[in-house]
C-alpha cells in the first residue's frame, strides 16, 4: 500500500505539490491524470524516492520512507521499478539493458539468463536480446524499458506518461501489457497520463491532479460523470458548467433555476441551495420536431450558434435559454439536418446532470 | 638560415638512425607522462564522480577552483611539488627530488584539475533521466557512479588524453623536480631547452619533431575516440 499524508513539495520558490494526500491499494492500477506540469511526475518521483518531500509523510506498507536513511531507502526502492516518459537506453545489448536491475541486486547469472528472456517475451521483444539498445525505435525502447523494470519482479511499477511519445499501435501494446501485469502478477501499477481516455481504459481508480493539488479521487465513472469541482470538470471534458439555485425538490427530483430557465435533475439538496450543475456534452440528444416526447425530463428548443467538427464528431454551441455545448456524431448531425442558425429540439435526462452545492471557493 | 636547414637534415638523420640518446629520452618521456596520466586518471575520475554525484556546500566554488587550475602554470606545479619533496619539506624523507618518480608526481599535480574538470563535463553530458533510470532500477550510489562513468567513458577518455598531452609537453615541473639529469631524468622538453641553449640545434629539432609527432598521435586518438 502506498500512502501520501499531507505532502508538500517545493522546488526553490515554486510550490509543485500542495497538501497532497491519497492511498493506493495493493494490486490496483491507479492513475494520476492532469495537464503537463501539474505535478504528476513529481508524485511518482517521490514514491520512488528520487526526491524528498518538503513536508508530509510518504508511506510504503506503513513505513514512512520520507525520512529514511539512504541505505534503507535502497532496500525499499528495490521493491519498485519506475519507467520514465523518455526511455533511456544504456550502452550495450538489449539483454544487458534488461539485466542491469538484476545485476544491481547481485542476482546470479543463471537466474539472469532465465529472467531476461522471460521479461522480453512479455513485452513481445523476445528476439531482440542481441540488438544494440541505442538502435531501437522509441516504441521498442519504451517496451525494453518496461521489460527492464519488470525483470526485477517489483511489487510496485511506476509508469510516468509511458505512451506520451508513442504511436497508437505501440500505445495499445503497452496498455495491454499493463493490464496483463496487474492480472497475472498482482503488481500495483501507478501511472501518470494526460490522456483521460487512457486513464479510463486502464485504471481501477484515478486522481485528478491540477496545479499541484489533488482535485478528486475516484473511479473513472465518478470522475467523468460526477466531478466535484469546476477545475476537475473542465479537465475531464464536462463542458456544460452552469450555476443556479434549487427551486423545488420532490423526493430527490429537483427543479433548478438557471438564468430564468428551469431544468430537472436528481439531487438530495434542499430548495434555496446555490448549486453548480455539470453535464457532459455527449449527454444532450437532438431529434426532429415530430411531436413524439422523448423519455428525457428536460426538453428544450434551441438555436445552434456555432459548429465545430472534431473528427467523426461535431461540437455545437446551442442557445436554449441557457447556453449549452453538445457533441453528436457527424452522421447524426447530417441526418438531422443540423447547422449554424438551425432551431432544433434537444433533450437531456435528469440523471445526466450532476449537481454540486456551490461554495465560496467555486 | 643555413644552420636551420642543416639542423633539420641532421635531425632526420638522428631519427632515422635511431640515435640511442634520442630514443632513450623519448622512451623516458613516454614512461613518465603515461605513468602520470594513468595514476592521475585513477585519482581524478573517482573524484570527478563524487563531485558530480554528491551535493555539498561549496560545490560550485570547488568546481570554479578546479576550472581555474586548468591553467595552472607548470612552474607553479613544479614549485608546489618542489616545496613538498625538497629535503626540508614534509615529504623530504622520501628522497624523491631529482627522480623520475618525483617528476611523475609533479605531472600528476599538474593534470589532475584538468582531468577532474573533463570528467565533470563528461558526466554532466549523461542525461538526468538516465541517471534517475539507473537509480530507480535499484543501483546503490557506487553502482550508479560506475554505470554513469561507463556511459560517459568515451568523453572521459578524451579528458584523459588531454591530460597526457599536457603532461608530455610541459617543461617547468620536469625541470624543477627532475633537474634534467642526463640518462636519468632528462625528457624531451627539458632536453630541447638545454640543447637549444647550448647551440645543439639539430638535436633540439630532432627531439622537437618527435614531440610534435607524439602530440599529433594524441590528437589523432582523441579524434578517433570522439568520433565513436
Angle at A292 between CA A288 and CA A293, to 5 degrees: 105
pLDDT score at B201: 85
Rounded to an integer, what distance in angstroms lies between the CA atom of residue A123 and that of residue A181?
10
DSSP E strand stretches across chain A: 2-11, 14-24, 29-33, 55-60, 63-64, 80-83, 156-160, 188-193, 205-210, 213-218, 240-250, 253-258, 261-266, 274-279, 285-287, 298-310, 313-319, 323-329, 343-348, 354-357
**B111 lies in a domain?**
yes
Give the three-state DSSP class for B2. Answer: helix
Mean pLDDT value across residues A19-23: 96
Reported as a single tens digit per residue, the pLDDT across A236-266 is 889 999 999 999 999 999 999 998 899 999 9
pLDDT above 80: residue B211:
yes
**B69 lies in a domain?**
yes
Cross-chain residue pair A50–B127, CB shorter than 8 Å:
no
Cross-chain residue pair B151–A84, CB shorter than 8 Å:
no
- Domain containing B175: what range? 21-227
**B11 lies in a domain?**
no
pLDDT score at A84: 94
pLDDT score at A208: 95
Domains and CATH numbers, chain A: 2-234 (3.40.50.300), 238-357 (2.40.50.100)
CA distance A149 to chain B (A): 7
How many folded domains does chain B comprise?
1
| End-to-end Cα separation, chain A, in angstroms | 33
Written as one string, the DSSP assignment of A320-336 is: SSSEEEEEEEHHHHHHT
Mean pLDDT value across residues A181-198: 89
**B5 lies in a domain?**
no
Give the three-state DSSP class for A2. Answer: strand
In chain B, which among 141-200 make CB contacts under 8 A with chain A? 141, 143, 147, 150-151
**B176 lies in a domain?**
yes
Sequence-ordered list of residues with C-beta below 8 angstroms from that of B169, at least 6 positions apart, any chain: B189, B211, B215
Phi, psi dihedrals of residue B69, rounded to the nearest 5°: -75, -5
**CATH code of the domain in which B116 resides:** 1.10.3720.10
Cross-chain residue pair B138–A77, CB shorter than 8 Å:
yes
Cross-chain residue pair B133–A104, CB shorter than 8 Å:
no
Q: Which of B133, B139, B147 has its CB closest to that of A84? A: B133
pLDDT score at A297: 86
pLDDT above 80: residue B227:
no
**B74 lies in a domain?**
yes
Amino acid at each position: 500500500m502506498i500512502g501520501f499524508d499531507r505532502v508538500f513539495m517545493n522546488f526553490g520558490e515554486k510550490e509543485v505539490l500542495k497538501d497532497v494526500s491519497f492511498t493506493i491499494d495493493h494490486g490496483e492500477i491507479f492513475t494520476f491524470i492532469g495537464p503537463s506540469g501539474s505535478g504528476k511526475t513529481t508524485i511518482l518521483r517521490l514514491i520512488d524516492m528520487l526526491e524528498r518531500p518538503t513536508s508530509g509523510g510518504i508511506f510504503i506498507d506503513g513505513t514512512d520512507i520520507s525520512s529514511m536513511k539512504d541505505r534503507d531507502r535502497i532496500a525499499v526502492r528495490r521493491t519498485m521499478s519506475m519507467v520514465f516518459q523518455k526511455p533511456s537506453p544504456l550502452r550495450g545489448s538489449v539483454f544487458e539493458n534488461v539485466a542491469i536491475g538484476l545485476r544491481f541486486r547481485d542476482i546470479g547469472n543463471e537466474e539472469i539468463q532465465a529472467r531476461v528472456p522471460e521479461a522480453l517475451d512479455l513485452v513481445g521483444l523476445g528476439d531482440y536480446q542481441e540488438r544494440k539498445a541505442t538502435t531501437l525505435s522509441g516504441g521498442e525502447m519504451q517496451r525494453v524499458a518496461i521489460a527492464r523494470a519488470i525483470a526485477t519482479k517489483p511489487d510496485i511499477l511506476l509508469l510516468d506518461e509511458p505512451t506520451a511519445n508513442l504511436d497508437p499501435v505501440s500505445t495499445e501494446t503497452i496498455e495491454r501489457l499493463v493490464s496483463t501485469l496487474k492480472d497475472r502478477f498482482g503488481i500495483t501499477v501507478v501511472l501518470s497520463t494526460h490522456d483521460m481516455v487512457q486513464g479510463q481504459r486502464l485504471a481501477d481508480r484515478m486522481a485528478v491532479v491540477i496545479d499541484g493539488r489533488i482535485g478528486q479521487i475516484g473511479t473513472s465513472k465518478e470522475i467523468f460523470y460526477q466531478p466535484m469541482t469546476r477545475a476537475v470538470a473542465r479537465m475531464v471534458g464536462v463542458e456544460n458548467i452552469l450555476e443556479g439555485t434549487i427551486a423545488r425538490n420532490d423526493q430527490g427530483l429537483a427543479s433548478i433555476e438557471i438564468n430564468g430557465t428551469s431544468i430537472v435533475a436528481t439531487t438530495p439538496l434542499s430548495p434555496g441551495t446555490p448549486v453548480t450543475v455539470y453535464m457532459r456534452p455527449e449527454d444532450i440528444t437532438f431529434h426532429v420536431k415530430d411531436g413524439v416526447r422523448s423519455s428525457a425530463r428536460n426538453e428544450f428548443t434551441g438555436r445552434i450558434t456555432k459548429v465545430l467538427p472534431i473528427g467523426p464528431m461535431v461540437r455545437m454551441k446551442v442557445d436554449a435559454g441557457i447556453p449549452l455545448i453538445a457533441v453528436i456524431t457527424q452522421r447524426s448531425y447530417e441526418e438531422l439536418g443540423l447547422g449554424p442558425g438551425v432551431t432544433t429540439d434537444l433533450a437531456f435526462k435528469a440523471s445526466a446532470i450532476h449537481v454540486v452545492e456551490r461554495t465560496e471557493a467555486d | 638560415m643555413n644552420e636551420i636547414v642543416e639542423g633539420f637534415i641532421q635531425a632526420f638523420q638522428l631519427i632515422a638512425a635511431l640515435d640511442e640518446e634520442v630514443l632513450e629520452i623519448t622512451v623516458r618521456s613516454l614512461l613518465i607522462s603515461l605513468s602520470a596520466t594513468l595514476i592521475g586518471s585513477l585519482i581524478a575520475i573517482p573524484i570527478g564522480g563524487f563531485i558530480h554525484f554528491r551535493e555539498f556546500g561549496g560545490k560550485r566554488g570547488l568546481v570554479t577552483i578546479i576550472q581555474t587550475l586548468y591553467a595552472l602554470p607548470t612552474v607553479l606545479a613544479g614549485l608546489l611539488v618542489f616545496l613538498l619533496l625538497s629535503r626540508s619539506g614534509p615529504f623530504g624523507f622520501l628522497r624523491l627530488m631529482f627522480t623520475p618518480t618525483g617528476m611523475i608526481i609533479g605531472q600528476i599535480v599538474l593534470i589532475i584539475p584538468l582531468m577532474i574538470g573533463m570528467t565533470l563535463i563528461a558526466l554532466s553530458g549523461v542525461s538526468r533521466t538516465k541517471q534517475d533510470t539507473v537509480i530507480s532500477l535499484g543501483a546503490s550510489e557506487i553502482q550508479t557512479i560506475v554505470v554513469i562513468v561507463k556511459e560517459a567513458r568515451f568523453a572521459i577518455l578524451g579528458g584523459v588524453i588531454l591530460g597526457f598531452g599536457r603532461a608530455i609537453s610541459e617543461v617547468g615541473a620536469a625541470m624543477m623536480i627532475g633537474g634534467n639529469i642526463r640518462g636519468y631524468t632528462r625528457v624531451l622538453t627539458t632536453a630541447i631547452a638545454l640543447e637549444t641553449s647550448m647551440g645543439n640545434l639539430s638535436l633540439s629539432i630532432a627531439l622537437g619533431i618527435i614531440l610534435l609527432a607524439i602530440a599529433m598521435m594524441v590528437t589523432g586518438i582523441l579524434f578517433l575516440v570522439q568520433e565513436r
